[in-house]
């Protein structure tokens, strides 16, 4: 499937794109992506979050990244998540311009100031607030800061349904916003102007860095052939545009409930009077009226047939235009696919080479480690043998020393015995000599 869209934000690994169908998608980051640039991409280019389930290193890295993001840029990620769940966009223009992103329940997901003045009006928390209440608070805040006065009281509100299911709710949303502003007595003199946008216009407005409401007014001015530029509309206040009747902007005050009831009462009385007059007038009973009514019916039928034919022709022309538009897109897509396939093949080759190198390096390291282990084992065996030999030599020396000591002790004993014998012999000789004398 082929997509076309405008680049809104560029992050480290991906970019956010607003498509022609008013959907926010993440795509893989590539060279040449610039914020505001219109691009064509394929389903394969859509970014998919990679999750680590086996390796502990991946888990540690993920935890580390979460810790870093919580300290530096977690708010940006939250904003991106809220954008992906948005069902509609509501913009408020005075001169401060503000954009709300809301969900299916018409509650605020995210608020963004589109200019410096808009930042002054969003100094509070709007998340999970009903959109009609958020718009009322912004307008009231603008009045307190004198962006809105009695003379300058024009407020431009525009909505774009991003989700197809929400398109039917845009009319209800308009009524709810008007009713909420009517309830506030401080906002009696507000000139509330409502403009409906679409996904393509929202994408163009993002590209031009302006609100969808002002972009719709610019489109109306082009249809009316008014000489005015985008930059002029960007810098102009809504009241200036109303005063100059740019596009379809006109003075229209938001009426209070009391004024509405009075007008409804007057209209009812007028309707009752018309019904009475209609009943009072006699109905003609002629065949001419029947013939006239039949002629009218035939004319209406012919007109309907012609309208149907014109619609069919327009549909055919639109289809032909779409086919003509899609031909260059298809060519671009085929080029992108070829380039992408070549890049993919080259990347795979590089990955294989890197894997082979890593495997070779790992094998070398393993072999070196094995050699070192063998050397260590051999050295240990040698040390053990040397220790055994030393122990054996010590034992042999000890045994020899013991033998020598035993022999010495025996010899000493013999010498002592011999001495004793010699002494006894001497004593006996001496004793015999003495006796003879």
Whole-number Cα distances in Å, 325 to 17, 38, 319, 322, 406 = 20, 15, 10, 5, 119
DSSP 191: E
What distance in Å separates the CA atoms of residue 322 and residue 317, rounded to the nearest whole number? 9
pTM here? 0.48
pLDDT number for residue 111? 92
pLDDT of residue 354 exceeding 80, the answer is: yes
Treating both helix axes as pointing N-terminal to C-terminal, what angle do 169-183 and 257-280 enclose, rounded to 10 degrees?
120
Task: Kindly state the helix (H) or strand (E) to which residue 93 belongs, with its residue range.
Answer: strand 88-93
pLDDT number for residue 94? 92
What distance in Å separates the CA atoms of residue 207 and residue 430, rounded to the nearest whole number? 145
pLDDT number for residue 271? 54
Non-local (6+) Cβ contacts of 385 within 8 A are none
pLDDT number for residue 65? 47
Closest-CA residue to 238 (of 128, 154, 350): 154
Digit-coded pLDDT (tens) for 364-373: 888 988 888 9
Non-local (6+) Cβ contacts of 220 within 8 A are 246, 247, 248, 249
Place of tokens 């990620």: 77
* Partners of 9 in beta bridges: 16
What distance in Å separates the CA atoms of residue 209 and residue 115, rounded to the nearest whole number? 10
Digit-coded pLDDT (tens) for 20-32: 777 788 899 888 8
Token representation of residue 258: 């009391």
pLDDT number for residue 339? 65
For 86, the 3-state DSSP assignment is coil
């Amino acid at each position: 499937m082929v997509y076309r869209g405008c680049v809104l934000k560029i992050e480290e690994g991906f970019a956010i794109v607003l498509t022609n169908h008013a959907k926010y998608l993440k795509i893989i980051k590539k060279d040449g992506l610039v914020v505001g640039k219109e691009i064509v991409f394929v389903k394969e280019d859509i970014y998919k979050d990679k999750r680590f389930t086996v390796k502990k290193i991946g888990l540690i890295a993920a935890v580390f990244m979460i810790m870093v993001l919580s300290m530096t840029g977690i708010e940006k990620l939250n904003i991106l998540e809220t954008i992906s769940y948005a069902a509609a966009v509501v913009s408020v223009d005075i001169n401060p311009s503000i954009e709300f992103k809301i969900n299916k329940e018409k509650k605020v997901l995210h608020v963004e100031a589109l200019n410096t003045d808009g930042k002054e009006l969003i100094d509070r928390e709007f998340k999970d607030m009903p959109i009609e209440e958020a718009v009322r608070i912004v307008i009231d805040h603008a009045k307190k800061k004198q962006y809105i006065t009695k003379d300058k009281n024009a407020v431009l509100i525009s909505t774009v349904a991003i989700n197809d299911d929400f398109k039917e709710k845009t009319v209800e949303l308009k009524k709810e916003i008007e009713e909420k502003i009517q309830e506030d007595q401080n906002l009696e003199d507000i000139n509330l102007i409502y403009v409906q946008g679409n996904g393509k216009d929202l994408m163009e407005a993002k590209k031009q860095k302006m609100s969808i409401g002002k972009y719709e007014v610019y489109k109306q001015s082009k249809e009316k052939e008014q000489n005015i530029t985008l930059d002029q509309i960007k810098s102009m206040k809504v009241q200036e545009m109303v005063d100059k009747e740019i596009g379809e902007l006109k003075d229209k005050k938001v009426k209070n409930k009391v004024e509405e009831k009075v007008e409804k009462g007057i209209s009812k009385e007028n309707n009752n009077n018309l019904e009475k007059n209609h009943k009072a007038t006699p109905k003609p009973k002629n065949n001419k009226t029947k013939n006239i009514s039949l002629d009218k019916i035939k004319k209406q039928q012919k007109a309907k047939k012609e309208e149907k034919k014109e619609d069919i022709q327009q549909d055919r022309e639109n289809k032909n235009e779409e086919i003509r538009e899609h031909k260059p897109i298809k060519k671009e897509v085929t080029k992108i696919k070829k380039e992408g396939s070549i890049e993919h093949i080259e990347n795979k080759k590089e990955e294989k080479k890197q894997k082979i190198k890593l495997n070779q390096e790992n094998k070398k390291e393993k072999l070196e480690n094995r050699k070192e282990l063998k050397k260590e084992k051999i050295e240990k065996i040698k040390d053990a043998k040397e220790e055994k030999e030393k122990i054996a030599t010590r034992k042999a020396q000890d045994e020899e020393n013991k033998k020598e000591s035993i022999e010495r002790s025996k010899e000493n004993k013999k010498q002592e015995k011999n001495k004793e014998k010699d002494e006894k012999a001497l004593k006996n000789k001496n004793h015999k000599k003495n006796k003879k004398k």
